[in-house]
Amino acid sequence: MELPKNYLESLKKIDNLDLSKLKDCYNKNSFVGVRFSPKKLFLLSQNKQNMQKCLQNDANFNQNDNFFAKTANDFLKSQNFDGQFSPILWCKNGFYYTGTQKLGKSIFHELGLYYLQEPSAMAPVEFLGVKPTDVVLDLCASPGGKSTQIAQKLDGGFLVANEIIPSRAKILAENIQRLGCDNVVVTNHSPKDLENRFLNFFDKILVDAPCSGEGMFRKSPEACTEWQENSPNICKARQIEIVQSAYAMLKPNGTMVYSTCTFSLEENEEVIKFILDTFVDMEVLPINHEKFGFAQGNDIDGTGRLNNTARLYPYLLDGEGHFFAVLHKKNNATPVLPKQAKNVASKHDVALFEKFAKENGLTKKFDSYVSMGSYLYGNCAITINKLKVVCPGVELGEIKKDIFIPSYHLAKCLSENQFKNVLEVSGADAIKYISGQEIPANCNKGWVLLTHKNLPIAFGKVVDGKVKNHYPKILRKQLV
């Protein structure tokens, strides 16, 4: 591919970048990355006991067997897909895929079994150190790869996934719902707007900053055509505004990961230097570069502290160009958190949902209800008053004329043992249903949770031996 001369010239400023080796990479294919949903992979597993141990990081379970990889490759064989999955070093449920199958067109992508994500892009979240009960912010979250990666690590905690551009926030919410995440609130604000609302609030913050995208030129040649000589400095100015807001929202003793998919010093080491120079209680935590094939950051200020940042070069590892730094807020003061008022939910709407749950054997529990228009949401862990919210938790359903209509999002959050009427359907019928068609049903009338290979598809309503289609019209598509 033809690279801008000014771009190549700008790379010469980066001391540890081998320009000759990087240019060779542009003549090679990029890698296909697949990150499986651990909970949904569990539903597919033939050995659920070992999979449970793997999910829980059981010390007595031999991780060298890579049970995730075996289960993922068993799935490939069961579907007669070619190629294979091989592990990505820094993400235990992430894999390289070598094969010709269009995984994004597969029904299993629609069922939320996996998320197609560039391999290097999986690294920042893995180094964020998310604990199950953490309160986390993904500040620049669309399209949702990193947000769903964070959400899958939480159990009792919650994530605020924010995106400033409304159209992208909608895409973010769709991916959160497709993967069945039940612990995420999607907001649509500038970082500065959120800063005043969530001062010292989050245990962990991810800033996957908007950038010039230099590291993705091989995978997305169109990004190369948009690059201009002043792109890095324009992006740097915006990135500095974002990280100042992120700092304000980070709890004392909290952790923040700053990441980009670009090479420029301006957008990487210079931004981290700004953070360290401006906020004396921030430090860059060391990581094991050698273990993963990462290069150290460039020591642009002669202090050695920026060597702890990480550069992911495509000639050193199987992935595209990325940068990240793990930052720790050393201040151990007890944060004074802003008071959170209670959300308002219609008691009538909640009663209708609880009646539906009782009648249909819905055993999964929800709390923190909130009403938004004709829709009822659950697990809304923050106050949404005066916030622009796209999805305030789990969309449970819509109330129409005193009737509760269960939602697609609710269905995606369930397993087959959490609803009374479950209809396991063939791949062909699943594809028909997702396209908007009715399918035959040999079961009791009423609401039914449709599944394929134990993975939830959506709700449907059985009438006269057919499942009336309730798949969201906006999501209907033709699959292969």
Task: Indicate which residues carry an active-site annotation.
Answer: 261
CA dihedral 232, 233, 238, 243 (to 10 degrees): 80
Tell which residue, 383, 376, 344, 380, has the closest CA to residue 357: 376
**What phi and psi values does residue 237 have, to the nearest 5 degrees?**
-60, -40
Joined tokens for residue 153 = 């690590």
Q: Dig out the tokens for 266 from the structure.
A: 């301006």
Omega before 210 within 30 of 0, i.e. cis:
no
Structure tokens at 104: 């994004």
Strands 33-36 and 91-98: antiparallel
E strands, 128-279, where?
A: 135-138, 158-162, 184-187, 202-208, 250-260
Residue type, 30: S
Amino acid at 83: G
Cα separation, 236 vs 153, whole angstroms? 30
Helix (H, G, I), strand (E, B) or coil at 455: strand
Q: How far is C-alpha 84 from the chain's CA centre?
A: 23
C-beta separation of 254 from 201 below 8 A = no
